[in-house]
Structure 1
Amino acid sequence: MSQSSAAAPQGGPVFLHVGSPKTGTTFLQNVLWDQRALAAEQGLLLPGRRFHDHYLATLDVRGLATSPTAPPEAAGRWAALVAEAEGWTGNTLISHELFASATAEQARRAVAAFGDREVHIVLTARDLVRQVPAEWQEHIKHRSTVTMERFLDDLRADRAHRTWFWQVQDFADVLRRWGATVPAERVHVVTVPPPGADSGTLWNRFATLLGVDPASFDTSASRSNSSLGLEQAELLRRVNAELGDRVPLPGPYPQLAKNVLAHRLLAGRPGTRLVLDEAADTFARERSAEIVADLRELGYDVVGDLDELVPAPADAPAAIPTPSEADLAAEGVAAIAGLLDEMARRLVALRRAEEVARTAREKPVRYMVVQTAKRNRAVGAAHRAYRRVLRRG
């Protein structure tokens, strides 16, 4: 990862939104990227051509850009975002939840790349009672075959906090790593409100911190990360076990299993909400309280209320519900039907693409006219008139 050599402060603050996963990050990112021009009009730059560039920057920052499985364009991506920010006179936002797993040294180098520019660290945080089942589900979407019961056992046994979950979900630890080189008042914890709160609360908090007008953005079309019910998650877990390594990750697995099967087909199905059993619920609340105590001691700026990270005790089942085989069979049938429908639509699109390619090869003049007609109204009108004459003749 390269470093910038900026000698003097330029432009407004740089906000590094470093996580955590499953805290509304997808929703917030979609709102801003879908209305990137509006954000720029209000002085907020999202550097890069698309959100994927911020993902590539996480690989660069975390020393993964040279991995054989990393996209070649990941190398130098952080320096490219820094350079673009240096040329902007307003505020800048770089946002991706995978920054949360960076080591203290990686975070230090990333912040140092901005030289004397004012850098702020932002972390969105949600109570662990919701985070634990959400993270298990996300693991399943990334080809895990671990049951929720085993996942919970592993979390409780990991006293050294070496697992991925604690790397990104111990909010105080994430901010110790990222906030070590900036003043505490420039480290911001944005809390996710509890269930039942106004749906716009998180966006209002985040946007206000960034210096844009929350009310001027349309949040209705921006999707959050799709959630699965218990039955759908268990079906995908069993599919993962059956697939083994046949659909690689990295490779086609995210597009086929996560995007199509999980998000497009299973997420829209009615299912039982994922909840913790009584013992895990108690553990999550106690651990949340410990993290909140750490955050209070660190003295960071809080946008929202840290008490929102420790929900009040509620009834929890003695054991995690188990979906019936009949329910799983029904989900399997629906999934197969959905996949066949998806394949049929893709075959139609493929045949159309092949027809266009064949026309371009065999009848280049006709292809050029048709393509020009699609872009030019006058040419399009002339082309339609010509076709009417041919039909009459």
Structure 2
Amino acid sequence: MTARVYLHVGAPKSGTTYLQRVLEQNRTVLADAGVLVAGERHLDRIHAAMVVREDDRLESLPPRASEAWQRLVTEIRDWRGEVAILSYELFAGASAAQAQAALADLDGIETHVVITARDFGRAVPSAWQERLKFALTTRLEDWKPKPGKAGTRSEWGWRTMDPSGVAARWGSGLPPERVHVVTVPGEAGDGQELWRRFAAACRIDVPALDPVVERANESLGVVAAELLRRVNEKVRAPITGNREQALWLRDTLAHGILVDLGREQIGVTDEQFADAEKRSRKAIAALAEAGYDVQGDLADLRASRPDARLPGDATQAELLDAAVETIVRLLLLVRERTHERDAKQGVPGVLAEDGSRLAAVGKGMLRRVTAPRLERRADDLRARIADLEAEVARSRALHLRVAELSDVVTELLLPAQDTDGRVTAKALNTYRNDSL
């Protein structure tokens, strides 16, 4: 039975994707060591966070989405091992009342809250980028993260990026030693230090675990970010709403193409830096005073400022070059999709790819764009398989019960001596006719 559960509740853009990939890659190794990685499907964790935050977007989703949190709670309670870990960054947006309601569902289990957090100054352009991927048109120079008092839908503001506020809401009913703040190391840290800090917070000591995973860099360079912002100004229906924007602006354009058009860092304005620096000092003081368990150094949270351009500094020539390259890559993507569609339909004249560099680029983009949809389909199939396996298990249990009852009937109703079996057969037939 689960004795301890660690809820990794955020924050966004604080290495959460990396940590979740390590957990997923080592799911079997951890299970063998008695540690459950809760949630077979990432989509279930997304929906569970929506349930906890009472997100009204659930009304437009299938009923299964509204049951996601309770399914995860049941999975955690039914775990045969000692420890469970549930990780998803947008739990961070929950109100104090919503967080306490979620913790109450885990009553009886020693519950810990884990919060990962990063340099406040670098969090600002990261949050702006994430909003760009959902059609934001505001220039970075004119943008401010929403304040901590904003509602639970403020997924890319100080409500989720400030660990002191997240810890106060999620940890208000917990002893301070059960609230763990894990700081993201500065650039000087090695690639696995964040995992070591997270593992220490969750008391994970599994020698066979492999923390090396492929990292997906989803950050845009300064020119690509400004190009996406300008595209957003022209985007219109049907690319509206979160689903359409996620598929076409985020997955196809931003992650599929623009991330490869340069890695130049994005700077912040004087006003943005001053605000981040002030907030970071207040957060560090609040976390230290609260007495939470800190893995890393609270100084890692202090706002720093990269020597970098602002998106508005991108020249027209740079934007034109990036736009032309984007069009070329989109053409390759359309071509690749068309060839695959025609090949599946058996259209004559479709030749095998010649292995050229452009074809390889197209295939790579296709994999990046279609991978999320294939993963969702695979998640649905895995869920269906799990349901079927559960049904098989119930059928086996029923057959065993029937066999046990038959044995009892044989012992209680049949004569001790039945050398030729005729009495036995007659009695069993009578039993079946009268009872089944």
TM-score past 0.5 threshold? yes
| 2:326 is the counterpart of 1:335 | yes
Given that residues 208 and 214 in structure 1 are in contact (C-alpha distance below 8 angstroms), is that contact kept between their aligned partners in structure 2? no
The code of the aligned residue for 1:76 comes to E
1:285 to 272, 277, 281: 277
The separation in 2 between residues aligned to 1:316 and 1:99, in whole angstroms, is 33
Alignment of structure 1 residues 84-95 onto 2, 5 Å: 84-88=75-79, 89-95=81-87
Summarize deviations over 1:34-85 as a string: whole Å, max 9, x none: 2311221222212222222111111111112663333432111111101111
Q: TM-score, normalised by structure 1?
A: 0.81
The separation in 2 between residues aligned to 1:134 and 1:291, in whole angstroms, is 19
Q: CA deviation at 1:115?
A: 1.6
Given that residues 184 and 194 in structure 2 are in contact (C-alpha distance below 8 angstroms), is that contact kept between their aligned partners in structure 1? yes
The separation in 1 between residues aligned to 2:220 and 2:292, in whole angstroms, is 34
Given that residues 107 and 177 in structure 1 are in contact (C-alpha distance below 8 angstroms), is that contact kept between their aligned partners in structure 2? yes
Cross-structure match for 2:173: 181
| 2:67 is the counterpart of 1:76 | yes
The separation in 1 between residues aligned to 2:231 and 2:36, in whole angstroms, is 41
Q: CA deviation at 1:225?
A: 4.9
| 2:37 is the counterpart of 1:49 | no
The code of the aligned residue for 1:146 comes to T
The separation in 1 between residues aligned to 2:330 and 2:320, in whole angstroms, is 15
Distance 1:159 1:347, change over 3 A: closer
Given that residues 278 and 316 in structure 1 are in contact (C-alpha distance below 8 angstroms), is that contact kept between their aligned partners in structure 2? no
Given that residues 276 and 320 in structure 1 are in contact (C-alpha distance below 8 angstroms), is that contact kept between their aligned partners in structure 2? no
The separation in 2 between residues aligned to 1:229 and 1:56, in whole angstroms, is 31
Cross-structure match for 1:272: 264
Distance 1:159 1:210, change over 3 A: closer
The separation in 2 between residues aligned to 1:123 and 1:159, in whole angstroms, is 16
Given that residues 119 and 302 in structure 2 are in contact (C-alpha distance below 8 angstroms), is that contact kept between their aligned partners in structure 1? yes
The separation in 2 between residues aligned to 1:141 and 1:168, in whole angstroms, is 18
Q: Which secondary structure does the structure 2 equivalent of 1:337 belong to?
A: helix
Q: Which has the higher contact order (CA 8 A, sep 6+)?
A: 1
Distance 1:298 1:239, change over 3 A: same
Alignment of structure 1 residues 207-286 onto 2, 5 Å: 207-213=199-205, 216-286=208-278
Q: Which secondary structure does the structure 2 equivalent of 1:58 belong to?
A: helix
The code of the aligned residue for 1:184 comes to P
1:347 to 338, 343, 347: 338
| 2:58 is the counterpart of 1:67 | yes
Given that residues 231 and 271 in structure 1 are in contact (C-alpha distance below 8 angstroms), is that contact kept between their aligned partners in structure 2? no
Q: CA deviation at 1:212?
A: 2.9
Summarize deviations over 1:229-258 as a string: whole Å, max 9, x none: 110011111111100343022232212221
Cross-structure match for 2:409: none
Q: TM-score, normalised by structure 2?
A: 0.73
RMSD: 2.3
The separation in 1 between residues aligned to 2:267 and 2:32, in whole angstroms, is 42
The code of the aligned residue for 1:310 comes to R
The separation in 2 between residues aligned to 1:225 and 1:90, in whole angstroms, is 34
| 2:24 is the counterpart of 1:24 | no
Given that residues 82 and 114 in structure 1 are in contact (C-alpha distance below 8 angstroms), is that contact kept between their aligned partners in structure 2? yes
Moved more, 116-125 or 162-171: 162-171
Given that residues 33 and 50 in structure 1 are in contact (C-alpha distance below 8 angstroms), is that contact kept between their aligned partners in structure 2? no
The separation in 1 between residues aligned to 2:307 and 2:278, in whole angstroms, is 15
Q: CA deviation at 1:318?
A: 9.5
The separation in 2 between residues aligned to 1:213 and 1:17, in whole angstroms, is 17
Cross-structure match for 2:418: none
Cross-structure match for 2:27: 36
Larger radius of gyration: 2
Distance 1:38 1:351, change over 3 A: farther
Cross-structure match for 2:395: none
Structure 2: gaps spanning 5 or more residues = 348-436
| 2:132 is the counterpart of 1:129 | no
2:290 to 292, 298, 301: 298
Moved more, 33-42 or 288-297: 33-42
| 2:108 is the counterpart of 1:116 | yes
Moved more, 276-285 or 104-113: 276-285
Summarize deviations over 1:270-324 as a string: whole Å, max 9, x none: 243111133422331221011111111211110111111115x667579775100
Given that residues 8 and 113 in structure 2 are in contact (C-alpha distance below 8 angstroms), is that contact kept between their aligned partners in structure 1? yes
Distance 1:71 1:175, change over 3 A: farther
Given that residues 18 and 215 in structure 2 are in contact (C-alpha distance below 8 angstroms), is that contact kept between their aligned partners in structure 1? yes
Distance 1:47 1:318, change over 3 A: closer
The separation in 1 between residues aligned to 2:35 and 2:306, in whole angstroms, is 43
The separation in 2 between residues aligned to 1:189 and 1:21, in whole angstroms, is 14
Identity %: 36
The separation in 2 between residues aligned to 1:232 and 1:320, in whole angstroms, is 9
Q: CA deviation at 1:111?
A: 0.6
Summarize deviations over 1:108-134 as a string: whole Å, max 9, x none: 111100121110000000011110111
The code of the aligned residue for 1:40 comes to A
The code of the aligned residue for 2:158 comes to W
| 2:313 is the counterpart of 1:322 | yes
Structure 1: gaps spanning 5 or more residues = 1-9, 357-393
